Structure 1
Amino acid sequence: MQKLPSRTRLRKFRNPGFKKQQKGSKRGLLGTLASNIQNQTSNTNSRLFVVWGVLMAAGLGLGIKLYNLQIVKGTKLTEQARNQQMVDLRPFMPRRPVVDRNSELLAIDRPVYTLYAHPKLFDKSNEEMAERLAPILAKDTAELVKTFQSKRSGIILAPALPEEIIDRVTSLRLNGLELIQKYSRYYPPDDLVSDVVGYVNVDRRGQAGVEYSQEKLLERPVQTVRLSRSGNGAVMPDHAPEGFLHFDDLRLQLTIDSRLQRIASLALKQQMEKFDAKRGAVIVMDALDGSLLALVSQPTYNPNEYAKANISLFKNWTVADLYEPGSTFKPLNVAIALENSVIKPDDMFNDSGSIRVANYTIKNAMNNGNGRISIAQILQYSSNIGMVQIIQRLKPSIYYNWLERLGLGQKVDTDLPFEVGGRLKSQEEFIASPIEPATTSFGQGFSMTPIQLVQMHGALANGGKLVTPHVVRGLIDTKGQMHDSPTRTVSRQIFSAATAQKVVEMMETVVNEGSGKAAQIPGYRIAGKTGTAQKASPNGGYIKGARMTSFVAILPVESPRYVVFALVDEPKGESAYGSTVAAPIVKSVIEALIPLEEIPPSKPIEQQPKAP
């Protein structure tokens, strides 16, 4: 192919038509570009408007949502959050201790430990572990080995070990043992005051004695507190309110003197063993205010091991059981007769040994007559015939009203639980039948609790006032300051002071010359009255051969204040009487009472000159 000259090629490119065409082309491109730019700007504005619209709508929705959460539901949600972040905690509070009148400890909460064994974690053999633990836990080594083989974990070796035992266990440094602390009620004197103090069960609730009747005073007030907790549920103690675990140092103080209680218990046990008796009781009361210095009941139980005891022992029978008082009620009948002026202190009566009342013949206990005797001698010889004649001088309706004034048929309203009221025939029945006042005159045909007889004799010992026997003094702090004391029934004047003193002086002759000689103590004037009563049967009538022997004493005669009473149920033997069984118990108790209460010797009694 023939090539063109170079100029020719240049000319071709410099063609004017081509340049025109090129300029037209440029103008089209610029127009298209401008058009595109204008379209793109329009699209961008649309997109911005849409985005802003979406953002505004989202903001508005978020605002509405926030308003709903913070304003409308704010209170409720705050409460829900607080409940999730807080926990209600009711801290454990030990029961208040119980102490006697001298602040000797009778009951206290102490820490004890449940000992668990986890054999899978033992680093020693079962045999070696058993050998190390058996002496401390007082268990058989072979039995412990079997126990360890029974399962791999969670074996309870002891439910309540005291700290001194735990110290010995931890000193062994054995792996595979676990200790869980709790509190348990402990009674240091064991069974000495159990009939007064009582016990608490596994739920820490009182079941007998003052543990039951004084629950409100023994329970420390506890308020539930709200504590913060972390995200994993752990309580944060840093946020605990200040002092929420603080508890007071108050203790429940009783009127009981443990020293006197111990002596009375020993004296009662000795006589019960000697006469093979069923049960017995001793009560010592300060008649000025009704405070009980001793209240002993046998048989009894150990409150530290209450599960092993007979359930019948949990009710103190001196307040929960009724009996016929017999001759120990005679001095009260003498006081009623003197107060109504139907007898005079120097009156004489003829005791022939028997007396006919309606269709019944009443005799003395010994089936003997005492001839012409004074009122004091009626008490000395415990003459039923003399007492019937005294009460026959009273109108039955007046006599009945006086029995009610004394509280027969009612409760004493003491602070010991499970008390029962005495039994007295209805007024219509009592007045209609002459035999009722006659048998009541020597302490039969009605029933009462032993504590009520002590209360009535207290009215003879304190100038005629009926006070309420009680064992609770109140709440005291460690300095002995009283913070709270129970309100008690106001004392009532029953007899005049002159009548009460005259009867006490008559009772003194019982100790000096009559059946109460076993209670004599040189240098002290003691009044008393024996009682040997038939034992009433629950089915009516009396139990053949069964007796209730008793003795009540008041001292000192020149300034009466204390009542000491002993009661022994069903002593065996022909020589079992109030004078032989109960009077020696009272003497032992009075011998201990004199130095404890610092009772000075009585003034010498004027001796009547002997006839030449």
Structure 2
Amino acid sequence: MPLPGFSPRNLPGGTLLFEGVSRLTPSIRLVLAGVFGVLAIRLLGLQGRKHLELKLLAEAQQISSLQAIQPRRPILDTNQNILALDIPANDLYVHPCLFRLPPEQVATLLAPILDLPDTYILKRFQESPTGIRLCDQLTTQQSLQIQRLWLDGLELLHHPRRLYPHRGSMANVLGYVDMEQQGQAGLEMTHQEDLAQESYSLSCWTDGRGQFLGKHFTDSILFQDEASLQLTLDLNLQESVAYQVECALQKFQAKRISAIVLEAHTGAIRCMVSAPTYDPNHYQRFPVERFRTWATTDILEPGSTFKPINLAIALETEAIATTDRIEDRGRIKIAGEDILNVGVSPEAAPGPTHYLTPAEILKRSSNVGMVQMMQRLPPSLYHDWFRRLGLGVPIGLTEDFPHPSVDSVIKPRDEFCNHPIEPAAASFGQGLAMTPLKLLQLTATLANGGYLVIPHVTAGLLPTIDQKEPGSLAGSQDYSQALYFGHLPIPSQELGWTNCEALPNHARPRQRVFSPQTTRAVLNMLEEVVLDPQATGSRCFLPGYGIGGKTGTAQKASQKGGYQEGAVVTSFVGIYPIHAPKFVTLVMIDEPQGPYSFASNTAADLTQRILAEIIHLTQAPPMYPRVNLLEREEP
């Protein structure tokens, strides 16, 4: 509403202004109408035809794409101890063409942070004007120190670093990850797909300066996959055994040593140690041959540690009985070849004849007795039993480790049946070969009542413990799911399991190869091998505890044929506790030197120390009255 008395004419100069506007009004109206018409047409065009194009252009200017690098999943032991995990790290790239300071001064500033000589850094600057990868996987502290220098030409790129807190004690099992986050050995390689998480791009709104805004973030950034690869290994046992193995490596001056502890009824590997080992945090500093898990890849002749398996075959086929007596003269000639007992010289006169029971043959580790025993089996039946035990089968034993196409080698059926020396040599563990893990699997059949179990070291991809429902680690856990992970009883046909195709190999129904009567008879004999002070396994005796086992000393095969002179592999398979077996162990020592050339004073001694660690960790009470080895009655 106009003010009373107000008129444009009353303003200073208002009369002229009003008159000018009045004269230009038609022209102004036309111009304004034209302008508004053009704007309206333009606006309709922008909103109609170019709406989507302009929207995408605006979003491209306001929304930035952020590459979210997903860390590899951690690896845990059976008690949720961390064995491997990713930690924040950065790679340092330098662009000398962008330096504002002299290169010499930049090198001097970087040298103490990177712990590198400034001369080396300066030399690297000369490689290229831009894009020089100067240092990999810098720690968070180093990255902060570099950022605080405020130097042009330095670029830090986020690159997670794989950390192995326990270094060499777990290296032969875990393997390592290279700079491209690819597993190159052990579980890191065989479980690459399970451990590596796919990276994704995250769209984020930014302001005019390019700073990220807390707007329209997707919910995915708040939640991460916290699943971990859980193993059956026990960290405490692994580190204790690793220390014992390193001491034995120095004492025996051996080429290498492997020690494995396996649960007899499930096949879960509780400990797997190799020496010499390496530090997976700095794998570049070690020779390539240390990266192999040779207990699962190298095929060796088992020697006398295979005799209990042969004895079980003979008892199962009723070729012998536990009360039979077998002639042993210390030597025997087969197809023109002399086979001797340990300690018998080829030039010595024939010794006295002994008639030994199967138990005495094991205690003395008699080669001649084993040959005479296995000659009671037809060679064709003997070879069929090798196949039944999985020997010479063209498949890998376990999916957890890189493995060759076979884990054992036996002679072809025709050669084995038509040449008497072949079954004779096989009777005391030569002329056939297998990986140490395969030998341990066969020994486990004697400890678990006759079942072939699949050795394994992975329990599965499991959530972290705080994600589990209450009681999921106790008896309320679903039994069918527990079977999948292998560290609980394995399903079998007698439990009603008929369709287990979805289960991994180690959790499928077990195959029975020996009867409980046969395995119990062999276990009793193996206990005597340790209890008898004159037996080869007496060094494994522990007062108050029931232990069974068998020594083995085998010649090493030469690549040129025959055997290497003076090179042996000593081994010992142990079973504890002998009357209700839970664990089977294997110690294999490659080329021990000096006086340590027999399993009785190398592998048996180390096995005793390993079993003592198991007893200590499980706090198992003694089973028998405490009797010292020297106080036992002589035979």
- Paired position in structure 2 for 1:308: 285
CA contact under 8 A between 1:554 and 1:562: conserved in structure 2? Answer: yes
**Partners in 2 of 1:152 and 1:362 — Cα distance?**
73
Alpha carbons of structure 1 residues 189 and 242: separation in structure 2 relative to 1, 3 Å: same
1:292-318 C-alpha deviation (Å, 9 max, x unpaired) = 111111222221122232222222111
* 1:395–1:89 distance in 2 versus 1, CA, 3 Å: farther
State whether structure 2 residue 481 is matched by structure 1 residue 498: no
C-alpha distance in 1 between matches for 2:412 and 2:601: 36
Confirm whether residue 525 of structure 1 aligns to residue 546 of structure 2. Answer: yes
1:572 is paired with a residue of what secondary structure?
A: coil
**Matching residue within 365, 368, 382 for 1:399:** 382
**CA distance in structure 2 between the aligned counterparts of 1:169 and 1:99, rounded to whole angstroms:** 34
CA gap of 1:424–1:88, structure 2 versus 1, over 3 A, is farther
The partner residue of 2:367 within 367, 384, 399 is: 384
**Once the two structures are superposed, what CA deviation does each residue of 1:475-533 show, in whole Å capped at 9, x if it has no partner?**
22221748984722432111112211211110111111111111111110110111111
Determine if contact 2:84/2:164 at 8 Å carries over to the other structure: yes
Residue aligning to 1:274: 251
Cα shift readout 1:2-24 (whole Å, capped 9, x = no counterpart): xxxxxxxxxxxxxxxxxxxxxxx
Cα offset, 1:137, TM superposition: 2.8
Q: Aligned letter for 1:246?
A: F
1:457 corresponds to which residue?
443
Per mean C-alpha deviation after superposition, the further-off stretch among 440-449 and 600-609 is: 600-609
Which residue is equivalent to 1:298? 275
Map residues 91-240 of structure 1 onto 2, 5 A cutoff: 91-116=68-93, 126=104, 130=108, 133-140=110-117, 143=120, 157-167=134-144, 173=149, 175-176=151-152, 178-220=155-197, 238-240=215-217
- 350-359 vs 360-369, which deviates more? 360-369
Q: What corresponds to 2:562 in structure 1?
A: 541
SS in 2 for 1:243: helix
Counterpart CA distance in 1 for 2:459 and 2:618 is 17
Distance 1:144 1:207 in 2: 29
Deviations 1:526-567 (A, max 9, x none): 101111111111232111111011111101111111111111
Distance in 1 of aligned mates of 2:359 and 2:632: 21
Q: Give the alignment partner of residue 470 of structure 1, picking from 429, 447, 456.
A: 456
Q: Which moved more, 1:420-429 or 1:379-388?
A: 420-429
SS at match of 2:167: coil
Work out whether 1:418 is the aligned partner of 2:395. Answer: no
- Offset, 1:138: 2.4
Q: Distance in 2 between matches of 1:393 and 1:147?
A: 74
Name the CA shift for 1:500/1:175 in 2 (closer, same or farther; >3 Å): same
Deviates most, 309-318 or 138-147: 138-147
- Residue 116 of structure 1 deviates from its aligned partner by 5.0
For 2:528, the aligned partner's letter is T
User: Which of 604, 620, 624 is 1:583 aligned to?
Assistant: 604
Q: Which has the larger radius of gyration?
A: 1
CA deviation profile, 1:410-467 (whole Å, cap 9, x unmatched) = 3323421224411111222211222211111100111100000011111111111110
1:568 is aligned to: 589
SS in 2 for 1:342: coil
Is residue 2:574 matched to residue 1:553? yes
Verify the 8 A CA contact 2:103 2:125 in the aligned structure 1.
Answer: no
- Which residue pairs with 1:345 in the alignment? 322
* Match status 1:261 vs 2:238: yes
Q: Answer yes or no: is the 8 Å Cα contact 1:220–1:247 preserved in 2.
A: no
Report the residue type matching 1:379 in the other structure.
L
Inter-CA distance 332–80: structure 2 relative to 1 (3 Å threshold) = same
Q: Deviations over 1:58-99 (max 9, x none)?
A: x9xxx9x99xx97xx999x89998997998876321110011
> The residue matched to 1:455 in structure 2 has which SS?
helix
Structure 2 CA distance, aligned partners of 1:343 and 1:284?
31
Aligned with residue 447 of structure 1, among 410, 433, 436: 433
Deviations 1:245-285 (A, max 9, x none): 63211111111122222222222222222222111111111
C-alpha contact 2:91 2:136 (8 A) present in aligned 1: yes
Matched, 1:488 2:505: yes
Q: What's the TM-score, normalizing by structure 2?
A: 0.77
Distance 1:178 1:203 in 2: 19
CA shift in 2, pair 1:502/1:605, >3 Å:
farther
User: Does the Cα contact within 8 Å between 2:264 and 2:583 map onto a contact in 1?
Assistant: yes
In structure 1, give the amino acid aligned to 2:402. Answer: P
Alpha-carbon distance change, 606 to 576 in structure 1, aligned in 2, over 3 angstroms = closer
Could you tell which deviates more after superposition, 206-215 or 359-368? 359-368
The aligned amino acid for 1:283 is: I
Identity in percent: 38
The answer to whether structure 1 residue 507 and structure 2 residue 526 are counterparts is yes
CA distance change for structure 1 residues 118 and 201 in 2, over 3 Å: closer, same or farther?
Answer: closer
| Aligned partner letter, 1:504 | L
Unaligned runs of 5+ in 1: 1-58
Deviates more, 1:565-574 or 1:109-118: 109-118
Asked whether the 8 Å contact 1:355–1:363 carries over to 2, the reply is yes
Letter in 2 for 1:412: L
Q: Are residues 1:427 and 2:427 paired?
A: no
The one-letter code of the counterpart of 1:402 is W
Question: Retained in 1: the 8 A contact 2:204–2:215?
Answer: no
- What RMSD over aligned residues (CA atoms) do the two structures have, in Å? 3.8
Contact 2:544-2:627 at 8 Å conserved across structures: no
Higher alpha-carbon deviation: 495-504 or 522-531: 495-504
Aligned to 2:358: 375
Quote how far apart the aligned CAs of 1:360 are.
Answer: 2.4
**Whole-angstrom CA distance in 1 between matches of 2:559 and 2:219:** 60
Do the aligned partners of 2:543 and 2:627 also contact (CA within 8 Å) in 1?
Answer: no
Question: Counterpart of 1:12?
Answer: none
Displacement of 1:386 after TM fit? 0.6
In structure 2, relative to structure 1, the CA distance for the partners of 1:169 and 1:605 (3 Å cut) is same
Alignment equivalent of 1:595, drawn from 595, 604, 616:
616
Contact between 2:543 and 2:626, CA under 8 Å: does it hold in 1? no
Alignment coverage as a number of residue pairs: 545
Q: Distance in 2 between matches of 1:331 and 1:284?
A: 18
1:321 and 2:298 correspond: yes
How far residue 243 of structure 1 moved from its aligned partner, in angstroms, is 1.9
Q: How far apart, in 1, do the equivalents of 2:633 and 2:213 lie?
A: 91
